[in-house]
């Protein structure tokens, strides 16, 4: 029995021209504060590069899981785990044409970039270092991809769809306390014992066993 408990996503989003306000945010946590500080630092630094970043977001998702296992009417084990996963979205270029633009004629260049990284639960200094390291990797990869995108656009015929790669909208802010989910382990253990108990009854065959009689060999063989 796998019982996931997912905490609300902790996210901080900004563009080069729209930095989050430095004033305290009601309901903010040390993790969110660390993300906000690193986000501001990264945007300030990367917006001054030859290929400036125009959008950067950090998202940390906390996932809590509890698992109970039963077999033949007995609880065979239990497991609990909590982890936080980081996802970074970084864009260079412009909202009209950026590194996420599809490259025509190259299927593998358009594969989605899944780069969720596990981050520590309590060590904020380690979290900041991971944010810096992963952002730097994302920026270098995005810059290389933008060069390929621009070259692809120049050599291919004009696209019918002239919509931009990003829609710049006014930022929205929403915070709430993490949801609390309580798992009644004793209740689930009792259910699992009851659900799996019938499987411990031996299966009885209603067909009598037949003795084995070898087939006689024909004479002369």
pLDDT at 45 over 60: yes
Share of residues in the chain with pLDDT > 90 (%): 36
Q: How many CA within 13 A on the CB side of residue 5?
A: 13
* Confidence category of residue 113, pLDDT binned at 50, 70, 90: low
Identify the residue whose tokens are 């906390």. 62
Contacts of 165 (CB under 8 A, 6+ apart): 91, 93, 95, 96, 97, 98, 100, 101
* Confidence category of residue 123, pLDDT binned at 50, 70, 90: very high
How far lies 44's CA from each of 10, 39, 55, in Å? Answer: 22, 9, 11
Q: What is the pLDDT of residue 140?
A: 94
Question: Which of these ranges, 15-19, 44-48, 156-160, has the smallest mean pLDDT?
Answer: 15-19
Helices (H), the chain: 30-46, 124-155, 185-196
Q: What is the pLDDT of residue 153?
A: 79
Q: What is the pLDDT of residue 47?
A: 92
Of 218, 15, 181, which is closest to residue 98 (Cα–Cα)? 15
**Once rounded to an integer, what is the mean pLDDT over residues 108-135?**
84
Query: Residue 122, exposed/middle/buried by CB under 10 A (0-12, 13-18, 19+)?
Result: exposed
Q: What is the pLDDT of residue 108?
A: 57
- 96 or 16: which leads in pLDDT: 96
Prediction pTM value: 0.67
């Amino acid at each position: 029995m796998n019982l996931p408990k997912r905490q609300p996503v902790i996210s901080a989003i900004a563009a080069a021209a729209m930095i989050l306000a430095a004033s305290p945010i009601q309901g903010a946590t040390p993790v969110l504060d660390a993300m906000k500080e690193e986000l501001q630092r990264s945007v300030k630094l990367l917006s001054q590069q030859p290929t400036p970043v125009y959008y950067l977001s950090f998202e940390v998702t906390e996932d809590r899981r509890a698992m109970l296992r039963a077999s033949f009417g007995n609880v065979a084990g239990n497991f609990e785990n909590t982890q936080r996963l980081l996802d970074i979205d970084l864009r260079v270029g412009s909202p009209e044409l950026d590194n996420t633009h599809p490259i025509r004629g190259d299927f593998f260049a358009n594969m989605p970039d899944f780069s969720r990284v596990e981050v520590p639960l309590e060590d904020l200094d380690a979290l900041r270092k991971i944010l810096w390291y992963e952002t730097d990797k994302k920026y270098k990869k995005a810059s290389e991809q933008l060069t390929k995108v621009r070259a692809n656009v120049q050599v291919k015929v004009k696209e019918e769809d002239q919509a931009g790669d990003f829609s710049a909208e006014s930022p929205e802010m929403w915070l709430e306390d993490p949801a609390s989910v309580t798992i009644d382990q004793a209740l689930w253990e009792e259910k699992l014992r009851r659900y799996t108990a019938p499987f411990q009854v031996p299966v009885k065959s209603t067909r009598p066993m037949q003795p084995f009689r070898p087939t006689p060999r024909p004479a002369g063989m």
